[in-house]
Amino acid sequence: LLKTCSLHGISTFSFQTWLSQARQSKDYALPNSSWSQGMMDLYSRFLEMCKDGTWKRIPSYSNSIDHIPGKAFWCVCKERKETRLFPRNMDTEGVGFEYAMFLNPSEKRMVCLFQPGPYLEGHPGFAHGGSTATIIDSTIGGCAIFVAGRVMTANLSINYRNPIPLGSVVLVDSKVDQVEGRKVFLSCQVRSIDGQTLHAEATALFIRLDSTKSLQQQMSSQ
Ligand SMILES: CCCCCCCCCCCC(=O)SCCNC(=O)CCNC(=O)[C@H](O)C(C)(C)COP(=O)(O)OP(=O)(O)OC[C@H]1O[C@@H](n2cnc3c(N)ncnc32)[C@H](O)[C@@H]1OP(=O)(O)O
């Protein structure tokens, strides 16, 4: 991760600061009692693939600022606020978004193991399309951040192919397809663990933020 960040101009100092501050926060991307056997098996499979350094487990915190390498550059406000990263907004384990992400830096790929809980219901028994969009945006967004630095979603296009049963486990698999100047193009598929069912596929455009402006300036100019 250090290498990935320095490649994209995120200073080692900022990254180290981020890491040490983030380490003080609870990591939610660790197994808990709500995780099904399928989720545990998939998690173990990816942990195994982390051993040779090909994949990296990405920790996950309840405050979005803790995720951002070089967060000093992102901070609109100086003081930490009682905000929550949207998919980490429920305190009870298992009712909302249960997920863990793994990054493959050389393939510019981020996967997310996702187990939607009962509070994400849309049609009876199935995950709401908005929750699917959220986990896709977060996975693709995480991928874009690690590959390209400071980015925001400009466009996200999703085709929903098959509903996702609540309590099931799906694999959200995203990758950077192309970088053209400030534009980062990504694609993503959401599949069942056995790969047989395609639940959704998406393409996205992220824009690298203008490095000459702070995030606050960019926000206030709109
Ligand atoms: C780590 C794990 C945990 C995960 C950690 C957490 C991850 C969370 C991820 C969540 C991500 C989000 O939800 S982000 C929230 C949703 N997104 C937003 O609110 C963004 C709102 N939009 C904006 O702020 C702005 O429009 C920007 C920043 C996207 C772009 O503004 P800008 O910087 O002024 O750039 P601008 O000049 O307009 O555009 C630059 C170039 O891109 C093109 N362009 C811009 N927008 C579009 C567009 N929608 N579709 C096509 N093309 C576009 C322009 O034509 C131009 O092309 P050319 O003329 O150069 O050819």
Q: Please give the Cα distance from 208 to 199 (Å, whole number).
A: 29
pLDDT above 70 for 214: no
In a domain, 119, yes or no: yes
What is the percentage of the chain residues whose pLDDT exceeds 90? 72
In a domain, 28, yes or no: no
Q: How many other CB atoms are there within 10 angstroms of residue 129's CB atom?
A: 15
Q: Identity (one letter) of the amino acid at 127?
A: A
> How many residues in the chain?
222
Give the predicted TM-score (pTM) of the model.
0.88
Which structural domain, as residue segments, surrounds residue 44? 37-220
Q: Which pairing describes strands 97-104 and 151-160: parallel, antiparallel, or unpaired?
A: unpaired
pLDDT of residue 101: 98
Provide DSSP, 192-210.
Answer: ETTS--EEEEEEEEEEEPP
Q: Please give the Cα distance from 187 to 75 (Å, whole number).
A: 28
Of 59, 58, 46, nearest in space to 171 by CA: 46
Identify the weakest region by mean pLDDT among 49-58, 73-82, 112-121: 73-82
In a domain, 189, yes or no: yes
User: Cβ(203) to ligand 1 under 6 A?
Assistant: no
pLDDT of residue 9: 44
pLDDT above 50 for 72: no
The question of whether 177 is a catalytic residue gets the answer: no
- Name the closest-CA residue to atom 53, ligand 1: 154
In a domain, 145, yes or no: yes
ipTM of the complex: 0.97
Q: Which of 27, 137, 177, 210 is catalytic?
A: 137
Q: Please give the Cα distance from 198 to 67 (Å, whole number).
A: 29
For residue 67, give the CATH number of its domain: 3.10.129.10
- What's the CA angle centered on 75, arms 73 and 81, to 5 degrees? 155
In a domain, 6, yes or no: no
Interval 108-125 mean pLDDT: 98
Distance 208 CA to ligand 1 centre (A): 7
Strand partners, 100: 113
Domain count, the chain: 1
- Name the closest-CA residue to atom 25, ligand 1: 154
In a domain, 214, yes or no: yes
User: Cβ(141) to ligand 1 under 6 A?
Assistant: yes
Provide DSSP, 53-96.
Answer: TSSEEEP--SSGGGG-TTGGGT-SSSS--S---GGG---STTSS
In a domain, 130, yes or no: yes
Interval 111-140 mean pLDDT: 98
pLDDT above 70 for 6: no
In a domain, 47, yes or no: yes
Select the more confidently predicted residue: 174 or 212: 174
